[in-house]
């Protein structure tokens, strides 16, 4: 009568394959000769290996669960000690020990592997003009990807056919190879070469996908780009990636945004910056300037939003930055907007007629500036030179 293999491994009769494997690893490590002095370790170790060999094999497990003896009276004898010199007639499944000691690195999974697998995720980079990144857009993008084969609906078989059970492995997806060595018979489990581990064979594959269950094609999808995105932001579209082999679930699609440079505006976080040249007289006397906003690039924008008035106070100096509130970029996932910063570059006239020269000369005399005293300007840091440099490089 066979031993109670569930009791040997310490698992319930409804234990999952992973729970059985975990229990076996734990027991095998405890009974290894390098870590125990138990005089009964030899018999216990042999019992643990036999229990795992039965419970990890669906066919042997089924025989045992029905009350039969899956080992056929002594078919799994193995002497783990004594110099490894005494192997039973049934040999030793090296894969079991490797699985226990190295976490399964030496063996493949038990049972056939499925043909259906999840598809890979897809990354697609999209460049947007500044106006679309700022205010959002419904963008159509094209991508080359895998979709479910329309000819076989993903099963990989030609019309009217279906996969057949592999005759070599009888549907298990694995075969056992026996090698003789000075240690005795060593058995290793590997994927069945006839069916590549699937347990079934597609004898008549679909002519459209050659049995893969998916075909590559061009797709056009509409992506809703939210307002306020910037370079490097990614939009996650679940289930919009490529379909997996065997018509498996589609992976996810990630849209990575890149924002193109604008001819006028420079983006700084949620703020927009621009440099504007004004005449010397306007800077000295003050004025009101109409500033074209980013909304002017949006054909759907209201006419009133396309301009904003900028008040330039009298005596404005070159490099002064004035701010128009709320005319920057909308904040991503927010309800507010950044500002529009305008850096003023004061132009000195270079072409003067006689009358203009006379007027400026009289102004210089009135301000006692015909022979001005030169003084060194104090360090104004980023406030002047930094902004001026940024304005010219924008």
Same fold? 122-159+203-259, 266-393: yes
Is the predicted pLDDT of residue 280 greater than 90, yes or no? Answer: yes
What mean pLDDT do residues 4-32 have? Answer: 85
The fold for domain 5-102 equals Helix Hairpins (1.10.287)
pLDDT at 214: 96
Nearby residues of 82 by Cβ (< 8 Å), 6 or more positions away: 42
- 139, 229 Cβ separation under 8 angstroms: no
Nearby residues of 84 by Cβ (< 8 Å), 6 or more positions away: 183, 184
> Which stretch of 82-91, 310-319, 354-363 has the lowest confidence by average pLDDT?
82-91
Nearby residues of 295 by Cβ (< 8 Å), 6 or more positions away: 135, 301, 302, 305, 306
DSSP letters of 15-27? --HHHHHHHHHHH
Tally the residues of the chain. 394
- 261, 394 Cβ separation under 8 angstroms: no
Is the predicted pLDDT of residue 100 greater than 90, yes or no? Answer: no
pLDDT at 367: 87
Nearest to 245 by CA among 209, 221, 219: 209
Q: Are strands 253-259 and 266-268 parallel, antiparallel or unpaired?
A: unpaired
Is the predicted pLDDT of residue 297 greater than 70, yes or no? Answer: yes
What mean pLDDT do residues 74-93 have? Answer: 39
Q: What is the pTM of this model?
A: 0.62
Sorting pLDDT into bands at 50, 70 and 90, what band is 63? confident
Q: How far apart are CA 123 and CA 229, in angstroms?
A: 17
- 214, 225 Cβ separation under 8 angstroms: no
Nearest to 11 by CA among 56, 71, 58: 56
Determine the CATH number of domain 122-159+203-259. 2.60.260.20
Sorting pLDDT into bands at 50, 70 and 90, what band is 186? confident
**Sequence spans of domains, the chain:** 5-102, 122-159+203-259, 164-201, 266-393
pLDDT at 180: 72
Is the predicted pLDDT of residue 288 greater than 70, yes or no? Answer: yes
pLDDT at 32: 62
Is the predicted pLDDT of residue 392 greater than 60, yes or no? Answer: no
Order of strands, edge to edge, in the sheet holding 122-128? 122-128, 253-259, 234-237
Q: How far apart are CA 378 and CA 321, in angstroms?
A: 18
Provide the CA 13 distance to its chain's centre, in angstroms.
Answer: 40
> Which stretch of 56-60, 126-130, 223-227 has the lowest confidence by average pLDDT?
56-60
Q: In terms of CATH, what superfamily is 266-393? A: Urease metallochaperone UreE, N-terminal domain (2.60.260.20)
Instruction: Name the DSSP letter for residue 296.
Output: G
Nearby residues of 347 by Cβ (< 8 Å), 6 or more positions away: 277, 278, 279, 280
**Residue written as token pair 């061009």:** 218
Q: What is the CA radius of gyration of the chain?
A: 39
Sorting pLDDT into bands at 50, 70 and 90, what band is 291? very high
Sorting pLDDT into bands at 50, 70 and 90, what band is 147? very high
- 278, 344 Cβ separation under 8 angstroms: yes
Which span out of 69-83, 88-102, 128-142, 175-189 was modeled with the highest average pLDDT? 128-142
> Which stretch of 103-112, 264-273, 320-329 has the lowest confidence by average pLDDT?
103-112
- 366, 310 Cβ separation under 8 angstroms: no
- Phi, psi at residue 51, to the nearest 5°? -65, -45
């Amino acid at each position: 009568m066979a031993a109670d293999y569930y009791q040997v491994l310490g698992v319930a009769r409804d234990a999952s394959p992973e729970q059985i494997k975990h229990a076996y690893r734990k027991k095998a490590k405890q009974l290894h000769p390098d870590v125990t002095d138990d005089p009964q370790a030899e018999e216990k170790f042999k019992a643990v290996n036999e229990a795992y060999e039965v419970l990890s094999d669906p066919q042997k497990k089924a025989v045992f669960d029905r009350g039969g003896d899956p080992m056929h009276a002594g078919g799994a004898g193995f002497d783990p000690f004594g110099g490894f010199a005494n192997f039973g007639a049934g040999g030793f499944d090296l894969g079991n020990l490797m699985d226990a000691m190295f976490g399964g690195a030496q063996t493949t999974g038990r049972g056939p592997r499925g043909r259906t697998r999840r598809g890979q995720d897809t990354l697609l980079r999209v460049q947007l003009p500044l106006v679309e990144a700022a205010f959002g857009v419904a963008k159509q993008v094209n991508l080359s990807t895998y979709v479910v084969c329309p000819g076989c609906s993903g099963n990989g078989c030609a019309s009217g056919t279906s996969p057949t059970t592999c005759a070599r492995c009888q549907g298990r997806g694995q075969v056992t190879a026996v090698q003789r060595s000075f240690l005795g018979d060593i058995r290793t489990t590997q994927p069945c070469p006839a069916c590549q581990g699937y347990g079934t064979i597609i004898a008549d594959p679909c002519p459209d996908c050659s049995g893969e269950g998916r075909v590559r094609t061009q797709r056009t999808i509409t992506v809703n780009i939210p307002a306020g995105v910037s370079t490097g932001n990614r939009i996650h579209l679940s289930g919009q990636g490529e379909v997996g082999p065997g018509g498996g679930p589609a992976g996810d699609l990630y849209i990575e945004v890149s924002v193109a440079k604008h001819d006028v505006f420079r983006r700084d976080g949620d703020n927009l910056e621009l440099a504007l040249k004004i005449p010397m007289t306007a800077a000295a006397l003050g004025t009101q300037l109409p500033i074209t906003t980013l909304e002017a690039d949006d054909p759907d924008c209201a006419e009133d939003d396309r301009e904003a008035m900028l008040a330039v106070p009298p005596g404005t100096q070159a490099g002064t930055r004035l701010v128009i509130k709320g005319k920057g970029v909308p904040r991503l996932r927010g309800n507010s907007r950044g500002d529009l910063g305008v850096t003023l570059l004061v132009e000195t006239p270079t072409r003067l007629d006689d009358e203009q020269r006379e007027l400026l000369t009289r102004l210089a005399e009135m301000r006692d500036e015909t022979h001005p005293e030169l003084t060194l300007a104090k360090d104004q840091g980023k406030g002047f030179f930094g902004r001026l440099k940024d304005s010219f490089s924008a």
